[in-house]
Structure 1
Amino acid sequence: MKKKEVDKFNKQIRMYYDLLPQFEILTQYINVASKTNIFLDKLEKITVTKEMRILYPEIANEMDNFNNKYSNIRKKLGKIKSETDKLLKKNRERINDYLNILGIPYEFFETNINDDQKNAEFIIRAKNSKNTDMQKDRVNNLSYGERNLIGLIIFLISHKEDDFLIIDDPASSYDEYRRKVIFDMLYKCKGENTTMLVLSHDHIFAKYAIYHFEKSKEKRYDRLGTLEKLYYNQTGKIDYIETYNETIIKPIKKDNFDSMTNFIKERLKELPHEINYLVAINLRLYYEINKASRYHKEVYGYLSQILHRKEKSEIIESLEKVNKTENDILSAIKDDLKIDYDVLDNEYKLGINIDSMTNFEKLIFARENCSKNKLGKEIKNELNNIVHMNMAYAICLNPYEFNYFSKFVYNYLKNDLNITFN
């Protein structure tokens, strides 16, 4: 081989090697064009070397083309970055706003954007913290309830335009304030053309839906606020589902919510104006919920003995011990409820007719029939909550019309006590 040819080959190899930085710059610019996480301060015109023009004239021409359109390209890439930042900021702030409203002391912060998969990575860090350690991902610090709330927020925002969504029990484990925030969030995050089915064990959700929908209908439409218009336009059917033996669907209306006291009074209007077992059940409920045992001990005791099916002679005897007569008791009841009742029949127990009772009243009747085994005691404990109104709400769903005792109780009363429900 001639030395001249070797020198010429070495010179060509050197030219290719010297182009490596040029290709690295070119590759970087191609990546910039395909990424939304753009650093425009690093974007400059490309210096086209003599070697590039000799070895790769077509690439050199494209590099010249880039340099000629540099200002326009930089402007368009800047717009891409601006729009991306705006979108990320909008979604991030939307999530963080709800975290703030719900009292969760953390915030979302994006750490990496993946253009190929069209997503961004986020961390959850302590809110407004300048401490470097607190700016680390704190996802493991979240409580179970906080995780569920954040999951619900992200789910609603990311599925805003879906045709159909099913939300299962979104709020039953939270306090009433958070329930209301979650209820409103469902309306705010729902797409205009999305059908959303919300299932809940929580009567408060149904109460919110009925109350806000009815209130929105009472106003002129042009005077409704933004959220009120969502209540008005986006509320569909509000139904109660019972699945004890077969599935029964009942529509819920505004009148189905009231104070327990008023429900009892309405029921007493339907019953005879004489003291019998069924009347005593409801009177006892009335005095229980109004804490009458504190100021009307004799009335409360009289009704309790009927509830426990004591003999009439025993009931009269217990009244005599406190210097009271049955007429004294009926007079006190009349003062409270403005109803004049006749005295209890001596054979009142023979007149107990379970078929004339509502399902709610049957539960109270059944309490006295529970067996003393472990299962019977568990059932009685649950029925005690009903008799003593331990879990009554100030405003609740009418228990005379809607059954919301557990299926555990239902099966026991039906199978072990042979009680037939309406």
Structure 2
Amino acid sequence: MKMNQDLKEQIIQYAKKIGIDKIGFTSADPFLELKEILIRHRELGYESGFEEKDLDKRTNPKLSLENAKSIIAIAIAYPSKIVSPPKSTKGEYRGFVSRSAWGLDYHLILHEKLNLLGRYLKELVPSAEYVVMSDTGVLSDHAVAERAGIGWIGKNSLLISPEFGSYVYLGEMVTNISFPEDQPMENQCGDCTRCINACPTQAIVSPYQVNGKQCLSYITQRKDMLEEHWMEKLGNRIYGCDTCQIVCPKNKGINSMHHELTRPNPELAKPLLKPLLTISNKEFKQTWGKTSAAWRGKKTLQRNAIIGLAHFKDESSLPLLKEILEKDKRPMIRQTTAWAIGKIRGQQAKEILESVKFKEKEEKVLAEINKSLKRLANQDIADSPNKK
């Protein structure tokens, strides 16, 4: 056992050397309690659809590595604030990207660190086997990190660490080497319910249970046309949502800027909305390609940018939106644009919708145009002075 304790200490020291902020060790035993939670989660229809479908794979590490004995969990902190953030001005409105997507794609960061750790383990123990994963892997990063003593799971289902709050990227390495286990940390949320109260869509349906389909972070990543009530809630979010993290007392005053690759490019963290609508595929790949916000593609971010312009009621964007409504080949984008023009309101908006009405062939887009025109007509009646 002492040999394994010494090996563990060597791994911990190497992890610090390569820039891993927290590391914890746990067994590769199945996550039995988690499985019961996931079964219930599925029965209630709370899965977003991004999760691994096989609940056994999600809760049994030995299905990822047959001889698994331990899991090494890691955390890397990321920033929560932008130095001198750019501001929205009239006609030059900006969107907002979730903090977790500000720097280089965290999958790349985590996998580099985990593979360095794995290679170091094999140097020390040539017979070592390992599998690395994060976010897109089959195991629950939060459950692994909690059991490995990195932090506790908050009522918003995010992992909270004492040092870095919930602003941490999580990953793990399943290995056939047995390590002494770290102890889980006591939950420190107490009776606080700020995240539950602040959630814009009430997606945190109860402490530690989130309806994935209702979470704005998920909604910003959907590829289809959004329902109107979600567009109303979206505001100027381009990718992700940080509301439950912003209000969390455990995140107060935390801004981890010590990793260069996680630092934000202010123009991508708070991008101008109108230029997003005309960006070419090549420009998008060059500008956004190395961020985690790019994984859902240009179209999804453009749809959200259109919704953002509607949120600001940006009349200066109407000529551009008119061009999109007339020429864009993507029905979902045209449909969203028709909704946005109606939300911006005004005579110009009405004229644009009327001019396109008889040219549009797509049924859903035409229905949205007519819906916006009807809304504008009702608003005109509501805004006109009462006549006796």
TM-score by length of 1: 0.24
Tell me which protein shows more helix as a share of its residues. Answer: 1
TM-score by length of 2: 0.26
Asked which structure has the greater CA Rg, the reply is: 1
Q: Whose relative contact order is higher, 1 or 2, with alpha carbons under 8 Å and at least 6 apart?
A: 2
